[in-house]
Amino acid sequence: MQKHREQVRQGFFTAGLHRGAFLEEWGIPSRTFAIPAPDCVLRPNAYGVLQRPYYEIWEYQAHATCLTFDGVRLLTWETDRTDCTPTLPLPDDSRPEPAPPYPPRR
């Protein structure tokens, strides 16, 4: 953990850094979000059921940094950014039109 803390202190981020290093060096983030993974990666959970992973986004306004964690490990990061609010995906025009409503029963 000491090596991870040193990397955070120097601003040298790499995938796989432990989120505890950020907590110990920078403190609690300004804001956090949980978002589903954008891709269709499914993972087995403890009960043998497949589930879509959720990523945690941590916003540090004082450091102008957005961090994305997969569990406790750093996945991606963006610097020089103070607003990490997730953007909604644009509507997909390739989706078929919904089926018309059923006719009323008589």
Domain residue ranges of the chain, discontinuous segments joined by +: 2-79
Record the pTM.
Answer: 0.72
Higher per-residue pLDDT: 82 or 74: 74
User: pLDDT digit string (tens) for 36-76?
Assistant: 877 666 666 677 666 678 899 999 999 999 999 988 999 99
Give CA angle at 17 (57, 77), nearest 5°: 40
Q: 10 Å Cβ neighbour count for 46? A: 5
User: Where does residue 18 fall: left (phi above 0), alpha (psi -120 to 50 degrees), or beta otherwise?
Assistant: beta
